[in-house]
Amino acid sequence: MHGLGNDFVIFDNIKNSMIHDTKFINKISNRRIGIGCDQVLIIENTDTPENFKVKMYNSDGSETGACGNGTRCVADYLMKKNDLNSVIIKSISNDLVCSKTDNLVTVNMGVPKFSWNEIPLSKDQNTQNVKLDEFEAFCLSIGNPHAVIFINNLEELENLNINSIGPRLEKNSIFPEFANIEFVSVLKDKSLRMRVWERGAGMTSACGSGACAALVAASSLDKSAKENKIVLDGGDLFINWLDDGSVNLSGDTERVFEGFIGD
C-alpha cells in the first residue's frame, strides 16, 4: 500500500508467527531484490477485536515508533477486513486512534514532545533553534525525532539536494537516535510545502509524522494556523493540531497489490 507514494509492505501476521529479523526486512525493502518499500509494517496478534499491535521497521531494518502514512494504510486495511469504522493501532511509542471519512483515513498521532531529552537530543538546549551545520531547525518528537528547517525561498527549497544534505543532518551528533529532516516553505496561500529525508529510509515522496512535525513547528512560530494542508512530492496531507494538544493526520491511501510469500 502507499500514502501519497510513501510506500509500505504490510504483513498480516495475526494468525502466523513469521520471523522478521533485520536481514528479512532489508531484503523485502530492497527495490532491486525484494518487493521494495520505505517501511515494513507487521500486524501482530491482539486480544481485542478493535486493537491491533503493529511493529514498524524502516527499510534499513531499524524499528520505529511512529509512521503516520503507514499507520493510515494499516488502519484502512484492517477497517475494511473487519468491517470497522475505527481501530486502535498499538506501536512501541503509543496507541494511535484511526478512523475513516469518505476517502480520507485519519490517525491521531498523539501529543508532540518538545523537551530536549524526550526528542531526544544529546544535550539540553533551545529545541526551537537547533544549529544543524548550515541550517537552524525546530526539533520535536511525534513518536519519533524530527528536525524542521524553514526555507524562506521556495525556489531554493525545490532545488535543495536532499540526497546529499539529508544523510549528514539525519546523523548529526545532536541526535543520539538520528532524526527525520523536514524542509518547509510557506506558500502564497499559506499552506506548507515540504520535502523530507526520513530516518532509516532516505528521501521519500511523503512522510506523515513529518507533516505533523512541520505543522506543529510552523504553528508554534506563527507561520501557520493550527490546521493546514501540507504539500508533498506525492500529494497533499491535512494536519489539525487539536485543542487537546494532539495532532490529527488525514489523507488518501491506496492498495497496490497483495500476495503471499512462500518458504
Does residue 67 carry a catalytic annotation?
A: yes
Domain limits for position 213: 130-241
Give the pLDDT score at 93: 80
Burial class (CB in 10 A: 0-12, 13-18, 19+), 238: middle
Cell 506523515 sits on residue: 208
Q: Are residues 77 and 134 in the same domain?
A: no
List residues bridging with 251 in a β-sheet: 105
Residue 242, pLDDT above cutoff 80: yes
Q: Are residues 176 and 100 in the same domain?
A: no
Is 192 within a domain?
yes
Give the pLDDT score at 43: 94
Residue 49, pLDDT above cutoff 80: no
Mean pLDDT of 105-119: 97
Residue 144, pLDDT above cutoff 70: yes
Catalytic annotation, pick one of 37, 67, 98, 139: 67
And the C-alpha cell for 94?
Answer: 503509543
Task: Say which amino acid occupies 215.
Answer: L
Does residue 139 carry a catalytic annotation?
A: no
Q: How many domains does the chain contain in total?
A: 2
Residue 254, pLDDT above cutoff 80: yes
Is 141 within a domain?
yes
Q: Are residues 105 and 148 in the same domain?
A: no
Lowest model confidence (mean pLDDT) among 14-23, 73-82, 209-218, 237-246: 14-23
Q: Are residues 46 and 101 in the same domain?
A: yes
Q: Are residues 145 and 100 in the same domain?
A: no
Q: What is the CATH number of the domain that holds 36?
A: 3.10.310.10
Q: Are residues 134 and 237 in the same domain?
A: yes
Is 38 within a domain?
yes
* Cα gap 222→241, rounded to integer Å: 13
Q: Are residues 99 and 17 in the same domain?
A: yes
Is 101 within a domain?
yes
Lowest model confidence (mean pLDDT) among 33-47, 103-117, 175-189, 235-249: 33-47
Give the pLDDT score at 263: 61
Catalytic annotation, pick one of 37, 139, 207, 212: 207
Quickly state the pLDDT bin for 94 (edges 50, 70, 90): confident
Quickly state the pLDDT bin for 260 (edges 50, 70, 90): confident
Percent pLDDT > 70 in the chain is: 100
Q: Are residues 103 and 135 in the same domain?
A: no
Give the pLDDT score at 159: 98
User: Cα-Cα-Cα-Cα dihedral of 165, 178, 144, 162, to 10°?
Assistant: 10
Is 120 within a domain?
no
